[in-house]
Amino acid sequence: MPLVTAHVSMSLDGFVAGPDQTLEQPLGVGGLELHRWHLGDPDNDVDRAMTERILAPHGAYVMGRNMYGPVRGEWDSFADGEMWRGWGGDEPPYHAPVFVLTHYPHESVEMAGGTTFHFVTDFDEAMERAIEAAGEETVTIAGGASAVRQGFAAGLIDQILINHAPVVLGGGESIFADLPDLRLRPVEVHSSPLATHIVYDVDRS
Amino acid sequence: MPLVTAHVSMSLDGFVAGPDQTLEQPLGVGGLELHRWHLGDPDNDVDRAMTERILAPHGAYVMGRNMYGPVRGEWDSFADGEMWRGWGGDEPPYHAPVFVLTHYPHESVEMAGGTTFHFVTDFDEAMERAIEAAGEETVTIAGGASAVRQGFAAGLIDQILINHAPVVLGGGESIFADLPDLRLRPVEVHSSPLATHIVYDVDRS
């Protein structure tokens, strides 16, 4: 089995996106502040090293539909019916299969540089296919909150990197909703003024 | 002005006590797990050092009524009318004036070892009196959630130590409710398997 990881930036009150998410503000009110540590040029070595780490290659990715694009409803309801091809331009940074969770099936979209987006309607199926595709390499759940939450609920996540940003959002999306028995074990801690980066193993004991 | 500090243990989802608090379970369901790092004998040097740190002397304390005792309603409604004298025995660990927030006035209670409990019905008055009593030493808000929240809301807290325990509670008491503009700045980080201890300055910039 490949290692299954996840990665989120989180507020002090436990939210990975703020309240009132809109197309214009996809991270909700204040949500962008969670990402100050890696937006623009990180200005210290710790944030730089963590930024490189989250861009490190994985064998396969699973992500929620909002991580893939702004399209809601049917794919052809957007942009005069032209298929959305992800936020990452012609050559997205994944270089691996990406399984996108969606209620709307679509044929796969092949991009330059080895990234192929597959559209899957079922979380378990997405994880199975990602695990198979990854072989010996890691599978990572690239967000959003709901995908990570499903990964925890299914007992599939081995390790999560949380970038704890020292801000309060007051509401929004949580990866921990309905997971009151989740116990983690910090195994690595790195800190900068903009975030405390903690790698946690999921504690199955 | 003395430095005003606070100190709480907190879950990953941002709660300092679990849901369903009762007299038998004053920290709510799961709340005791937040304190595993300092309950019993801390079994590593980091937790031991942090335990010593939270027991370090302060010039004065402010605390919510539940931190002081289990009494609800009128003081003489409890224990056949005998006044509750705090959780800390005859010689409580404060050795300084402690201002207890309560809707029910009472004359002060003097204990062995220099601790005197004063009962104050107004948060601002409690802070004013604590600041005056502390002189050059620190004032610390010893909890619970509501007292710390009022300290943030009043802009009085300079520094908070949060012991982030790697557990999820799923609900409970938050020190951050209705404080969506609060921004902190981590200035010290110490980690153990049971908690990541972070000292934050309140960012007023």
Q: Distance (Å, rounded) from C-alpha B203 to C-alpha B205?
A: 6
ipTM over 0.85: yes
What would the CATH number be for the domain defined by A4-17+28-76+83-202? 3.40.430.10
* A191 contacts B189? CB cut-off 8 A: yes
Burial (CB count <10 Å: 0-12, 13-18, 19+), residue B178:
exposed
Lowest-pLDDT choice from A156-160, B12-16, B65-69, B146-150: B65-69
Chain A residues inside the 8 Å CB shell of B191:
186, 189, 198
Contact A138, A126 (CB under 8 A): no
Q: Say whether pLDDT at B167 is over 80.
A: yes
pLDDT at A195: 97
The per-residue pLDDT string of chain A (205 residues; one tens digit each, 9 = 90 and over) reads 899 999 999 999 999 999 998 888 889 999 999 999 998 777 899 999 999 999 899 999 999 998 998 888 899 998 888 999 998 889 999 999 999 999 999 999 999 999 999 999 999 999 999 999 999 999 999 989 999 999 999 999 999 999 999 999 999 999 999 998 899 999 999 999 999 999 999 998 7
Separation of alpha carbons B83 and B93, rounded Å = 19
Name the nearest CA neighbour of B128 among B13, B2, B15, B21.
B2
Whether the CB-CB separation of A87 and A69 falls below 8 Å is answered with yes
Candidates A11, A12, A29, A148: best to mutate against B (most CBs of B within 10 A) is A12
Q: Token digits for A117?
A: 């987006």
Closest chain B residue to A169, measured at CA: B180
B4-72+84-202 maps to which CATH number? 3.40.430.10
pLDDT for B41 = 74
Confidence (pLDDT) at B139: 98
Q: In the 8-state DSSP scheme, what is residue A183?
A: B
Most confident of the ranges B31-45, B46-60, B75-89? B46-60
- Assign 3-state DSSP to chain A and report helix, strand, coil percentages, each to 5: 25, 25, 50
- Distance between CA atoms of B58 and B97, rounded to whole angstroms? 9
**B168:A185 CB<8 A:** no
For chain A, the structural domain boundaries read: 4-17+28-76+83-202
Q: CA of A153 to nearest chain B CA: how many angstroms apart? A: 13
DSSP secondary structure string for all residues of B69-91: -S--SSGGGSGGGPPP--TT-SS
Residues of B in contact with A16 (CB under 8 A): none
Phi, psi for B119 (deg, rounded to 5):
-110, 120
Q: Which of B86, B119, B85 is nearest to B103 (CA)?
A: B119
User: Which pLDDT does position B200 carry in this prediction?
Assistant: 98
Determine the residue of chain B that is closest to A187 in CA distance. Answer: B193
Burial class (CB in 10 A: 0-12, 13-18, 19+), B19: middle
Its pTM stands at 0.92
